[in-house]
């Protein structure tokens, strides 16, 4: 398997796991509040929590749609994929550090572990994606006018 094929498949897996987040963007507020209460019993779900959750889920779904498009021509979209990898690697590392240092062991509930596993899994995917995309040769076609 070539690095380009590996990047294509990794981007497709990424899209399969992130595009379903669009459901949370459009689901009724009562269902979203029920999910919050299932994950963290007694969690108050105000307008801000709903808004931030819907925005985050929209960003996840948008990233999945981009991954589908980028998987069609990895060489062409290589610079965009590298930029995404750099930004997301920084965000995942900062997120993990912030999460672990700000939440004491006594406060680590289900929500903490859901966020921790999501960030750690994303970091692992990004490291693999970065390694593979750096091995893909650059796009060599010229635009002719």
Does the reported pTM lie above 0.85?
no
How many C-beta atoms lie closer than 10 Å to residue 82's C-beta? 15
Asked if the model's pLDDT at residue 101 lies above 90, the reply is yes
Mean pLDDT of the 18-31 span: 90
With contact defined as beta carbons under 8 Å apart, do 128 and 9 qualify?
no
DSSP string, 61-86: HHHHHHHHHHTT-HHHHHHHHHHHHH
Tokens of 87: 């930004």
Would you place residue 104 in the very low, low, confident or very high pLDDT band (cuts 50, 70, 90)? Answer: very high
Q: Give the integer Cα–Cα distance in Å for 2 and 135.
A: 9
Place of tokens 């076609």: 141
Q: Phi and psi dihedrals of 88, rounded to 5?
A: -70, -35
* Mean pLDDT taken over the chain: 87
Instruction: Calculate mean pLDDT across residues 39-62.
Output: 85
- At 98, list the tokens: 């912030």
Query: What band does 40 get if pLDDT is binned at 50, 70 and 90?
Result: confident
Going by pLDDT thresholds of 50, 70 and 90, the confidence category of residue 140 is low
The domain spans of the chain are 3-134
- Cα 80–Cα 83–Cα 84 angle in degrees, nearest 5: 85
Element at 46 (helix H, strand E): none
Sign of the alpha-carbon dihedral angle for 117, 99, 88, 133: negative
pLDDT for res 52: 87
pLDDT computed for residue 143 by the predictor: 58
């Amino acid at each position: 398997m070539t690095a380009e094929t590996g990047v294509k498949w990794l981007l497709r897996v990424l899209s399969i796991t992130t595009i379903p987040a669009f459901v949370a963007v459009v689901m009724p507020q009562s269902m979203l509040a029920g999910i919050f209460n299932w994950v963290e019993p007694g969690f108050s779900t105000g307008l801000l929590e709903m808004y931030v959750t819907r925005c985050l889920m929209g960003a996840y779904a948008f990233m999945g749609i981009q991954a589908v498009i980028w998987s069609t021509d990895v060489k062409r979209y290589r610079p965009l994929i590298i930029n995404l990898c750099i930004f997301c690697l920084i965000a995942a590392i900062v997120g993990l550090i912030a999460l672990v240092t700000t939440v004491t062991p006594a406060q680590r509930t289900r929500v903490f572990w859901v966020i921790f596993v999501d960030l750690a899994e994303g970091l692992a995917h990004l490291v693999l994606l970065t390694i593979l995309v750096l091995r893909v040769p650059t796009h060599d076609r010229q635009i002719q006018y």
